[in-house]
Structure 1
Amino acid sequence: MKGKETRRCGRHRRAMDDTLNVFLSFYTRSEKTLDKAEAAFEKIRARVPLETVSLQNRNMVENLVREMQEQKVGLDGATWNNVLRVYADPSKIKEMETFKTLVDEQGINLERSTIVAMARAYNRSGLVQKAIEMYGDVPGTQREVYALWNEYKKEAKDDGYRTMINSLLKLNNVEGAEKVYEEWNPEGPKLDMSIPCLLISRYYAEGMAWKVDEMLKSIKKKRYGMHMRKLRYHTKRMFSNFTYPKITWPYRTNLPDLTVLKESLKVVLTVILGVAVLVAVAVGYV
């Protein structure tokens, strides 16, 4: 318990420091506002209790950013990074993303500590895929990326695999990206070509032509496997829902009903058509 309280207090102090940096970076832009900077510093230190610092910091920063925008005062990169760190909290994900959009529009580079803080906020909010995406922009975070992926991959869809592969490529782990690609079983109904194209683009950039050929062959296999899984699913569902009606004939003789035979024939033809489509995909006609 003591360790948890220590870590919590440490986060609060860092949040306090980030808020002070936002205020001071604004008010120390000129000599006219230097007095305001000193007064703001003392006021925050004196009035904001440690246990409520996170919520009040965000309110202060939000008011400050609004004031700066009204006065058409541009925020520099350091200030924006401080703002994002203050809002890197599960309860303020929406606001954090709003500020992140403004930062991206201005082409401001995020600091490593800012990206890590945002990734942790996403993870604590259950947004694991976005956390993986953020960690992909931080060199040396492969351990964090794999730790999140190992917990998430059982429920990952196509877009989750795309995010993981893209993050590993940005971390220069091509071999790891290839292994994740091999584990990928496309959902369909159409093959998401953006996933293999991530690796193909990397191979082209590094002049690995033979890898491109291998990837093109693997795309056919992925598509074939996708159609096979879909066909098995629909066939199983079709037969599980199909029941033969019980018919009583005169003279106590059970004879086949033409309606039953017709429905059975439709099932057989559907399966044959599905197999024909899969064969066409396998040989490259579709």
Structure 2
Amino acid sequence: MMLIRSRCKLLKFFGISVSGSLGMCMYTTESVLASLENRVMKVGDPVSPVSSILNQWVEEGREVTYFQLHGLVHRLSQSRRFSHALEVMEWMSNERNYDLSPGGIAKQINLISKVQGLEQAERYFRSIPDAKIGFKIYAALLRCYVKHKSLEEAEVVMKKIKKFHPLDITECYNLMLKLYAQMGKYDKLDRLMLEMKEKDICNARTYAIRLNAYVAATDIEGMEKFLMQMEADPLATVDWYTYCNAANAYRKVHNIEKVTAMLKKSEHLATGKTRRLAYESIQTMYAVIGNKDEVYRLWNICTSLKSFCNSSYISMLNSLVKLDDIDGAEKIFEEWESKYANFDYRIPNLMICAYCKRGQFDKAEAFIKRLLDGGKPLDGRAWDKMACGYHADNDMVKAVEAMKKAVSRNLAGRKPDPITLIACVKYLKEKGDLDLALEILTLCIEKRHISVTSYDGLVSYVHNKTPDTEPLDLIKGDYQMYENGSTQLLNREN
């Protein structure tokens, strides 16, 4: 009897429904976590809150543990639903008063950076008690700085990290290597790699990052020599990704013959669980060099894989858009629409973007209307793409309307296009519609699309308090701009 009761308690701890009397312990096969996950994962709209689902769960008298909520955060993060993952983390602290572990705090820093931006992540970091800050939290902050290409701040944090000696410090070194490569600091990259060799902490990823640096610099000779070293070094894993990167280097110098040779090698090394991701990457590269036959061949292989999922459709649609095969893209979208298990906003967004780039606004508008009529509310990114399209077409009335919808919604960790946002504000100021300009800026600050500094500067600009100021300069701090002065926004996530 004591054994049965102990087992009941253990099952309850892990969230499994238990019932019975006189010590007869009976439990359902579905755990609390699975049931709660089902409810949360069904919320496909990134704007819709999931905290209400968590609250309802508790109001129903059901229990959920710290570990189960962390599992839910992990599942949401894997599905790239970062806003919902962050919402669950905040609910754990605010509603359940859970004291997050250093690992939990590190995860929250990462999510805040993705959803709300670097400034908010730094603010959260400063609120953490000094006694709790250790390697995991510093490593999370380092990832944020690397992601946002904040070189000086990353170097400061890395100095603190070097005082620790955990087994996974190699990953932090690799993050710095990646940052140096992205910033073109090849002298610093080589010095850091030499330091890693002296400490004997290089791994396969270290070599991959160095190879990427040669590719980024379009140093074909250096890349070829290093690739030969990798092929001879047992520490350097040469896999499908290695040759896919080499193919990218040859693509940059328009050596299509060598691109194709590298892609064939890459495909040959794609095995097991990596096949789907490998085929999607290789497929995209074939699209870049204009080889439609190979794109469709790999698509047919992907459709036969057990791991075939939404990402395969995203890859195929991206490839067809690159090939300007809009008819083919429409057919693939229709196939996905008839089969999808989980609605993924990225897929219709790709179609909207494709229509806008081609100036087919009638098609884009009809496409959006059909989605909305079918009960599929759009996220902010779709409206942001529409705003950019209208702006490029010099239809500022519709651009303003779409931008207002964009900034009032969730942008899934991204910010509104800076050029279009500023164009809308500028247009409204010149038109004399200051109220609408300020309304859009207020939505931006409320949804944390821009920083307080940018907001204050733009409000002053709208009120003509800074007449000689270029408004785009006021928000550059919130964006990663190209060093040549171009105002195109760099890719951030995903």
Taking structure 2 as the reference length, the TM-score comes to 0.26
TM-score in terms of structure 1 length: 0.42
Q: Of the two, which has the highest radius of gyration?
A: 1
| Structure with the bigger percentage of helix | 1
